[in-house]
C-alpha cells in the first residue's frame, strides 16, 4: 500500500460528516476587526468555558479584514477563523453563523467587555427549548465606565422600550451583544443587515416568527481596548431606530394617520356651520384649512400603512394578520373605484356649486369665508377620493401573480 493511500485510509472518517457536525453542541462566534489587544483573552475564556463544562464546542473568529495581527492570534490559540470580506458588525456575524457547526451558537464581542465564562445560563435555556436567549446587562450589572451615560440612560432604554412596544417582545435589553440561539431557527429568519442594526433585526424577526425568546442576566465591564469602539452613537442609534420603524408600519403610518384624520375630520365638520368659540378662543375658517390638511395627511398615512403591510406580507417580512386579510378582501379595486368615484364626484359638485355662487354675483365681490366653508370640504372629498382609487390600484399591482 502506498504512503498516500495509507494516509488517506488513516484519515477516513468512521461516520458521515453530518454526524460529526451534530456532535458539536455550541459554537461561540466573535466578530473581529483589529481586536489584537483583547482577542486572546476572549478566545481563552471561551475555550475555558467549553472545557470547564464539558461542552463539545468550537470558537469561531469571524474576521472582517483585520490588519493588526488578530488572525494570527486566533490561529495560535486554536480558534477557527472565518474570513468575511463584507465589512460590518452584522456582515461578520452572518458569516460566522453560516460557518458554525454547532446546534447552538453564542455570539459576543471580542473586546473583553462580556463574560464568556458565564454562558451556561444561556445554554441551559436553549436546552430547555428556547430558540433565542438574550443577555440583559441592566439586570446582571454594568460596571462603572462600561457604557456611556447617553447609551445607558437614553439610547438603550428608549430603543428597548420601542422594541417591546412595537413587537411585544419581553426583552429589557434589546441591544445586548451577548446572546445565544438555536442556529437552525435563526438561519431561517434570513438575516441580512450588515451593520449594527443586525442586533435589532435578529430580535424583531424572531418575534415576528414567534420564536421562543427568553432573557438571562449578564454583566458588562469596560472593554480592554485603547482605541475608540466601532460603535458610533448617533449613526448607529439612528440605524436601529430606522429598522424598528420600517418593520412597524402600524406605529409609523397607521396610528398617526388615524389620529390626524380623526382630529382633522372633527375640525372640518365642526366648522362647516360657522365659527366656534371655546372660552376666549375663536376657531374659524383658517382652523378649518389646517383641519383639512390634517385629514389629507392622515388619509395618506393610512393608505401607506395598508400598502406597507401588503408589501411586507408579499416580501415575506411578516405573516398576514387576520385583520389585514379582511381589509384587503374588502378594499378591492372595484369597491375603491366606486367609493372614491363618489367622493370625487361630490368634490367636483361642491366646486361647481361654489363657482355657480360666484357667477351669480357677476364674478364680483363675495364673502370668502362663507364660500370657503363649501370649497374646503369639496377639495377634501376630491383629494381623498382620488387617493383612495390610486391606492387600491397600487395594492392591486402588488397582488399580481409572480413567476
Same domain? 188 vs 83 = yes
Whole-number average pLDDT of the chain: 88
Share of the chain above pLDDT 70, in %: 94
Q: Is 267 exposed, middle or buried (0-12, 13-18, 19+ CB in 10 A)?
A: buried
Chain CA centroid to CA 22, Å = 32
Same domain? 271 vs 301 = yes
Helix H or strand E segment including 221 = none
* Residue 9, in any domain of the structure: no
Please state, in angstroms and rounded to a whole number, the distance separating the CA atoms of residues 291 and 255: 17
Instruction: For residue range 191-245, list pLDDT tens digits in order.
Output: 999 999 999 999 999 999 999 999 999 999 998 887 777 777 888 889 899 999 9
DSSP state letter for 317: S
Q: How confident is the model at residue 127 (pLDDT cuts 50, 70, 90)?
A: very high
State residue 385's pLDDT score: 94
Same domain? 41 vs 162 = yes
Same domain? 180 vs 107 = yes
State the angle between helix axes of 198-208 and 89-99 in degrees (0 to 180), rounded to the nearest 10: 60
Of the three residues 246, 275, 292, the one that is the final residue of a domain is: 246
DSSP state letter for 227: S
E strand residue ranges, 155-265 = 179-182, 213-217
Same domain? 272 vs 296 = yes
Same domain? 230 vs 253 = no
* Residue 88, in any domain of the structure: yes
Please state, in angstroms and rounded to a whole number, the distance separating the CA atoms of residues 132 and 125: 9
pLDDT at 190 over 60: yes
3-state secondary structure of 53: coil
Q: How confident is the model at residue 10 (pLDDT cuts 50, 70, 90)?
A: very low
Mean pLDDT calculated for residue range 245-271: 94
Mean pLDDT calculated for residue range 316-331: 74
Same domain? 126 vs 257 = no
Distances (CA, A) of 296 to 190, 195, 265, 276: 37, 36, 10, 22
Q: How confident is the model at residue 5 (pLDDT cuts 50, 70, 90)?
A: very low
State residue 173's pLDDT score: 93
Same domain? 195 vs 309 = no
Helix H or strand E segment including 250 = none
Contact residues for 261 (Cβ-Cβ < 8 A; gap 6+): 294, 295, 298, 299, 302
Helix H or strand E segment including 114 = none
> Cell 376666549 identifies what position?
280
Name the maximum alpha-carbon separation found in the chain.
114
More confident residue, 376 or 319: 376
Contact residues for 18 (Cβ-Cβ < 8 A; gap 6+): none
Q: How confident is the model at residue 403 (pLDDT cuts 50, 70, 90)?
A: low
- Residue-range definition of the domain harbouring residue 349: 249-398
Per the structure, how many domains does the chain have?
2
Instruction: For residue range 91-114, list pLDDT tens digits in order.
Output: 999 999 999 999 999 999 999 999
Q: Is 279 exposed, middle or buried (0-12, 13-18, 19+ CB in 10 A)?
A: exposed
* Residue 313, in any domain of the structure: yes
Closest among 172, 191, 23, 166 to 107, alpha carbons compared: 191
Of the three residues 214, 246, 278, the one that is the final residue of a domain is: 246
Mean pLDDT calculated for residue range 67-91: 95
* Residue 369, in any domain of the structure: yes
pLDDT at 13 over 50: no
Helix H or strand E segment including 113 = none
Same domain? 103 vs 124 = yes
State residue 317's pLDDT score: 76
More confident residue, 316 or 206: 206
State residue 375's pLDDT score: 92
Contact indicator for 175, 252 with CB cutoff of 8 Å: no
Q: How confident is the model at residue 25 (pLDDT cuts 50, 70, 90)?
A: very high
C-alpha cell belonging to residue 343: 367622493
Mean pLDDT calculated for residue range 267-283: 90
C-alpha cell belonging to residue 172: 429589557
* Residue 159, in any domain of the structure: yes
Please state, in angstroms and rounded to a whole number, the distance separating the CA atoms of residues 161 and 67: 38
Mean pLDDT calculated for residue range 339-354: 93
Q: Provide the terminal-to-terminal Cα distance of the chain, rounded to the nearest Å.
A: 56
Distances (CA, A) of 248 to 242, 258, 305, 306, 318: 10, 15, 9, 12, 10
Mean pLDDT calculated for residue range 174-194: 94
* Residue 8, in any domain of the structure: no
Same domain? 214 vs 66 = yes
3-state secondary structure of 232: coil
Contact indicator for 137, 124 with CB cutoff of 8 Å: no
Please report, for the domain that includes residue 80, its CATH number.
3.90.550.10
C-alpha cell belonging to residue 125: 435555556
Same domain? 228 vs 327 = no
State residue 11's pLDDT score: 39
Q: How confident is the model at residue 53 (pLDDT cuts 50, 70, 90)?
A: very high
* Edge-to-edge strand ranges of the sheet holding 26-32: 80-83, 57-63, 26-32, 104-107, 179-182, 132-136, 213-217
C-alpha cell belonging to residue 61: 473568529
Please state, in angstroms and rounded to a whole number, the distance separating the CA atoms of residues 391 and 403: 24
* Residue 5, in any domain of the structure: no
Of the three residues 192, 211, 246, the one that is the final residue of a domain is: 246
Please state, in angstroms and rounded to a whole number, the distance separating the CA atoms of residues 58 and 105: 10
* Residue 175, in any domain of the structure: yes
Helix H or strand E segment including 327 = helix 322-330
Same domain? 221 vs 369 = no
Amino acid at each position: 500500500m502506498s504512503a498516500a493511500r495509507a494516509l488517506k485510509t488513516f484519515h477516513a472518517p468512521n461516520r458521515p460528516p453530518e454526524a460529526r457536525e451534530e456532535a458539536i453542541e455550541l459554537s461561540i462566534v466573535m466578530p473581529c476587526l483589529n481586536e489584537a489587544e483583547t482577542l486572546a483573552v476572549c478566545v481563552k475564556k471561551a475555550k475555558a468555558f467549553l472545557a470547564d463544562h464539558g461542552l463539545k464546542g468550537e470558537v469561531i473568529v469571524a474576521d472582517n479584514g483585520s490588519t493588526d495581527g488578530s488572525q494570527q492570534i486566533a490561529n495560535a490559540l486554536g480558534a477557527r477563523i472565518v474570513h468575511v470580506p463584507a465589512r460590518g458588525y452584522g456582515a461578520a456575524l452572518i458569516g460566522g453563523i453560516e460557518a458554525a457547526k454547532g446546534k447552538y451558537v453564542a455570539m459576543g464581542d471580542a473586546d473583553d467587555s462580556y463574560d464568556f465564562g458565564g454562558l451556561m445560563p444561556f445554554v441551559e435555556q436553549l436546552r430547555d427549548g428556547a430558540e433565542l436567549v438574550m443577555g440583559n446587562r441592566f439586570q446582571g450589572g454594568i460596571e462603572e465606565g462600561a457604557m456611556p451615560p447617553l447609551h445607558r440612560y437614553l439610547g438603550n432604554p428608549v430603543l428597548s422600550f420601542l422594541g417591546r412596544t412595537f413587537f411585544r417582545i419581553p426583552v429589557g435589553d434589546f441591544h445586548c451583544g451577548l446572546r445565544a440561539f438555536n442556529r437552525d431557527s435563526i438561519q431561517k429568519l434570513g438575516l441580512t443587515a450588515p451593520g449594527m442594526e443586525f442586533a435589532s433585526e435578529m430580535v424583531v424577526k424572531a418575534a415576528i416568527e414567534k420564536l421562543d425568546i427568553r432573557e438571562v442576566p449578564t454583566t458588562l465591564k469596560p472593554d480592554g481596548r485603547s482605541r475608540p469602539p466601532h460603535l458610533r452613537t448617533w449613526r448607529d442609534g439612528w440605524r436601529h431606530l430606522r429598522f424598528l420603524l420600517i418593520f412597524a408600519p402600524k406605529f409609523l403610518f397607521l396610528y398617526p394617520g388615524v389620529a390626524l384624520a380623526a382630529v382633522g375630520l372633527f375640525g372640518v365638520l365642526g366648522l362647516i356651520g360657522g365659527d366656534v368659540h371655546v372660552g376666549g378662543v375663536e376657531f374659524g375658517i383658517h382652523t378649518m384649512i389646517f383641519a383639512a390638511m390634517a385629514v389629507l395627511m392622515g388619509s395618506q398615512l393610512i393608505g401607506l400603512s395598508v400598502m406597507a403591510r401588503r408589501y411586507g406580507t408579499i416580501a415575506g417580512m411578516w405573516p398576514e394578520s387576520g385583520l389585514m386579510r379582511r381589509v384587503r378582501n374588502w378594499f378591492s379595486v372595484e369597491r375603491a373605484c366606486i367609493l372614491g368615484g363618489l367622493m370625487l364626484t361630490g368634490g367636483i359638485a361642491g366646486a361647481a356649486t361654489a363657482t355657480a355662487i360666484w357667477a351669480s354675483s357677476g364674478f364680483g365681490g363675495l364673502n370668502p369665508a362663507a364660500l370657503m366653508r363649501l370649497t374646503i370640504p369639496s377639495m377634501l372629498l376630491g383629494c381623498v377620493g382620488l387617493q383612495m382609487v390610486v391606492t387600491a390600484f397600487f395594492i392591486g399591482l402588488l397582488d399580481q401573480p409572480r413567476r
